[in-house]
Amino acid sequence: MGIFDQQNLDTFVQQLVNGLTLGSLYALIAVGYTVVYGILQLINFAHGEIFMIGAFGALSTSLVLFRGQTALWVLPFMIIGAIIASVGTAVLMERFAYRPLRHAPRLAPLITAIGISVFLQELVRLNYNHVPFTSWNPFNLPDAKSRIPFPQIDVVTGPAFQIGGVTIQRSAIFTIGALLMCAALLWYFINRTKTGRGMQAVSQDADTARLMGINVDRIIVVAFAHGAVLAGIAGVAQGLQNNNIDFRMGFLAGLKAFTAAVLGGIGNIQGAVVGGLVLGVAEGMATQYIPGQFGGSPWKDVWAFVLLILVLVFRPQGLLGAKAVDRA
């Protein structure tokens, strides 16, 4: 049996497709880490929860406004709902938790991030299906303590495409498409608009930018919002792909996306996209090709963490080079 026989090739291509899909998801989230880092030199570890909140925002939109609807036109509304939820959370988070800590020692924002993370998870877990401290549930939302089925949308979900021996999910196409579009829009925004150039200026030197009349606080909020938009879209993509969502989904996804951001060179937006794709493909291949007892899906998260550690230890500046190196 040669290495290049049809079956092996199909398996390889299949894993490549799976990896790229997963990678697109990581990339969408990773951009959020990188944009904020580029401006504030802050690693917003609560970003994974923004992604989770986005998914719940989309779910709520669908359940409250279009319950039972599966037509394609619902999808844009769901995306808008996701974006509103995630951007709202991110902006509040920046304003009330991070902004007061701008000049605090590095430990402070990190611990704050853990606090926010736990807080948001618990808020969703305990209070998604009722108004806090009451049992009032006006929209008959499901209990978020366990997994919740995500609404299925015509065209975007449904039977997979079969090309040769390779299966391509419709939601995978949505995810990859979303990444391409977001990347293009983001590139346009950062390089072609006034605010985008302001962001570049602040990331170069915040104090000078301030002297030049740039409203640094506003730019920082914009950066958080940007990351949140992409994370919200990623939340929708994840829901469509897995058919269900839960309040814990942000933790692991956030960590992997962070790995992707570091892999691509934190602070570097193209890097985050490349890093996400590389990580996704690596994960797909590892699941398939690590042999023996320590391979396969039970160990796949272990390998992801091993990769995370190796990247942080041996290549903290990433594949494409980071904006800042000193993480002391």
Partner 1 sequence: MIRIPNIPESVVVKHGPKAWPLGLAGAGLLIIGSLLSWSFDPQVLGDLSISFNPGALQIMAIAQSVLAIILLLADKGPLTSFGEWADTALALRALATWALLFMALVLVAITVEAGGLVNIEPGGWISFLGAVLVFASSRLVLPRETRDLGHARLPDWSEILVIVILMAAILFGTAFALGLTDAWEFVLFLMVVTGVLITGVRAGLLTWLGHVTTRHKRVLMLAAFAVAFLFPFTQNGSDANMSIASQVLIFAAAAMGLNIVVGLAGLLDLGYIAFLGAGAYVGATMSTSAFATIGWKPPFIVVMLVGGCVSATLGLIIGAPTLRVSGDYLAIVTLGFGEIFRLTMFNLDGNNGPNLTHGPNGVPAIPDLTFGSFNFGDTHTLLGIPLARFSNYYFLLLLLIAFIILVFSRLNNSRIGRGWVAIREDEKAAEAMGVNVFGLKILAFVVGAFLAGLAGTIKAHQDVSVTPDQYIFLESAFLLAAIVLGGMGTVAGVLIGAVILKLLPEKLRFFADYRLLLFGLLLVLMMRFRPEGLVASRRRQLEFHEEDEELAVRVEGDIAEVVI
Residues binding partner 1 (CB under 8 A): 43, 45, 97, 100-101, 103-112, 114-123, 126, 251, 255, 258, 262, 293-294, 296, 298-299, 301-302, 305-306, 308-309, 312-314, 316, 327-328
- Residue closer to partner 1 by CB (options 186, 220) is 220
Instruction: Give CA angle at 57 (51, 63), nearest 5°.
Output: 140
Report the nearest approach of partner 1 to the CB of residue 98 (Å).
10
Q: Least CB distance from residue 67 to partner 1, whole Å?
A: 28
Minimum distance of partner 1 from residue 138's CB (angstroms): 21
Query: Nearest approach, Cβ of 97 to partner 1 (angstroms)?
Result: 5
126, with CB counted inside 10 A (0-12, 13-18, 19+), is middle
Nearer residue to partner 1 within complex by CB, 111 or 155: 111
Least distance to partner 1, CB of residue 198, Å: 26
Region for 155 from its dihedrals, namely left if φ exceeds 0, alpha if ψ lies in -120 to 50, beta otherwise: left
Burial class (CB within 10 angstroms; exposed 0-12, middle 13-18, buried 19+) of 103:
exposed
Between CA 196 and CA 96, with CA 209 as vertex, the angle to 5 degrees is 75
Please tell me the distance from the alpha carbon of residue 309 to that of residue 306, in angstroms, as a whole number. 5
> Given the complex with partner 1, which of 198 and 271 has the nearer CB atom?
271
Token digits of residue 306: 């091993």
| Nearest CB to partner 1, comparing residues 173 and 312 | 312
Q: Which is nearer to partner 1, 134 or 293 (CB)?
A: 293
Min CB(300)–partner 1 separation in Å: 10
> H or E segment at 168?
strand 166-168
* Closer residue to partner 1 (CB): 151 or 271: 271
Smallest gap from residue 243 Cβ to partner 1 (A): 24
The single-letter code of the amino acid at 208 is T
Q: What does the alpha-carbon distance between residue 113 and residue 48 come to, in Å, rounded to a whole number?
A: 10
CA distance 289 to 100: 47
Question: What whole-number distance in Å separates Cα of residue 57 and Cα of residue 25?
Answer: 17
The DSSP annotation for 67-119 comes to TT---TTHHHHHHHHHHHHHHHHHHHHIIIIIGGGTTS-THHHHHHHHHHHHH
Burial 296-306 (b: 16+ CB within 10 A, else e): eeebeeebbee
Residue among 184 and 306 whose Cβ is closer to partner 1:
306
How near is the Cβ of 96 to partner 1 at its closest, in Å?
Answer: 8
Cα(72)–Cα(78) distance, rounded to whole angstroms? 10
Instruction: Report, in Å, the least distance between residue 125 CB and partner 1.
Output: 8
Of 175 and 268, CB closest to partner 1: 268
Nearer to partner 1, 122 or 205 (CB): 122
